Amino acid sequence: MDFPPLKNDRFLRAARGQEVDKVPVWIMRQAGRYLPEFRQVRSKHDFFTICQTPELAAEVTLQPIRRFELDAAIIFSDILVVPQALGMVVEMRAGVGPVLPKPLHSPDDISDLEYPVNVNEKLKYVAEAITLTRHKLEGKVPLIGFSGAPWTLMAYMIEGGGSKTLSKAKAWLYQYPAKTKHLLDMLANVIVDYLVMQAEAGAQLLQVFESNAEYLGRELFLEFCLPVLQDICSKVKSKLKAKSLDVPMTIFAKGAHYALLEISKCGYDVMGIDWTVNPEEARNIVGRSITLQGNLDPCALYAPDNALQSLTCEMLNKFGTDRYIANLGHGIYPDMEPEKVKVFIDSVHAFQTLPI
């Protein structure tokens, strides 16, 4: 596909372990409710209508890019479009978040899922949104595509929405380990096709969100998550290679402080860490063969500007400037003042990079 040439490649360079002029920075959930211009679009359209309408998805993806000196854009969508593609109903309720009114109650319900999924048909709107956004970005910054990881999606499909404990979903891991693995493999197959489709449509890096890793311990994670995360990465990469596409991949397993080394060896180019992990310890554990991404506490953006600047500086000192992408340790909160994002980004860019 013929896209405008990329003008700022420091995010992709850092993902590939190449030298950068400044530390690249983007923010998880950078398009969203903390921006008045997003709330305006959202007041007129249902959440999933925005995701499904390429012009609207491109517009809200570009909103933070117009406002801030971010080094990457992330396509506006949600991880729950995958359960939708499997035939599940997902509603986005104001003040509540995602709700799946007919969750999976037992493994017998797996057969009700519309599987296999023709991703190129069911999620075509995401591909179209990506292609349109790539054009509208005019090469300003690269565009990130993403998917939820199998365990994170499975948890929503069983809990029917967010949950404090994920006890219903975790019960499956103990009660039905084989059937759970079957469901996770089904999800992985859909996710592989979905990520490949996004790269073909123009996504320049693919991030996998295992946001619910924090509910598991090391043993459950190693048994149920790690093998599928590895499988997704190797299958996506080999399928892309066959199409002469080379797109770096990021894994963000939130709360998986207990398996940093194993995650770093899964084949991904970048590993996101949440704000509970000490960057120096993470670097010591994983070595220098992977780029780290993160991890300022999203609440640090509530601090006065000078404190936020020092906290950002402290974080960069710990990570170093090599093989590093600055970000928050999780998504930005909806009540954040947009001005704080500028303070954070400017502090990252002002940091002196050292020659490798």
Residue of 270, 268, 265, 266 whose CA lies nearest to 285: 265
10 included as an active-site residue:
no
Q: Show contacts with ligand 1CP in window 179-218 (CB under 6 A).
A: 209, 211
**Between residues 97 and 116, which has the closer beta carbon with respect to ligand 1CP?**
97
39 included as an active-site residue:
no
**Between residues 293 and 321, which has the closer beta carbon with respect to ligand 1CP?**
293
324 included as an active-site residue:
no
Quick check: 28 binds ligand 1CP (CB under 6 A)? yes
Please enumerate in sequence order all residues whose Cβ is within 8 A of that of 214, keeping only pairs 6 or more positions apart, or say none: 254, 255, 256, 274
The residue with its CB nearest to ligand 1CP is 162
Total residues at the site for ligand 1CP (CB under 6 A)? 23
Quick one: CA dihedral 45, 51, 54, 55, positive or negative?
Answer: positive
156 included as an active-site residue:
yes
**Between residues 38 and 172, which has the closer beta carbon with respect to ligand 1CP?**
38
Residue 345 and residue 65: Cα distance in Å, rounded? Answer: 12
**Between residues 203 and 322, which has the closer beta carbon with respect to ligand 1CP?**
203
Quick check: 29 binds ligand 1CP (CB under 6 A)? yes
| DSSP type of residue 101 | S
Residue found under tokens 């080999």: 238
Quick check: 74 binds ligand 1CP (CB under 6 A)? yes
Strands, E assignment, the chain: 73-74, 91-93, 97-99, 143-148, 205-210, 249-253, 270-272, 291-296, 324-328
78 included as an active-site residue:
yes
Dihedral angle over CA of 300, 292, 194, 104, nearest 10: -60
Quick check: 30 binds ligand 1CP (CB under 6 A)? yes
Residue 54 and residue 350: Cα distance in Å, rounded? Answer: 35
Residue 157 and residue 88: Cα distance in Å, rounded? Answer: 8
**Between residues 98 and 294, which has the closer beta carbon with respect to ligand 1CP?**
98
Binding test (CB under 6 A) with ligand 1CP, winner from 11, 68, 146, 351: 146
Binding test (CB under 6 A) with ligand 1CP, winner from 87, 101, 162, 177: 162
What value, to the nearest 5°, has the Cα angle with vertex 274 and ends 348 and 73?
A: 55
Catalytic residues: 29, 33, 42, 78, 156
Where does this chain bind ligand 1CP (CB under 6 A)? Answer: 28-33, 42, 47, 74, 76-80, 92, 97-98, 146, 162, 209, 211, 254, 331
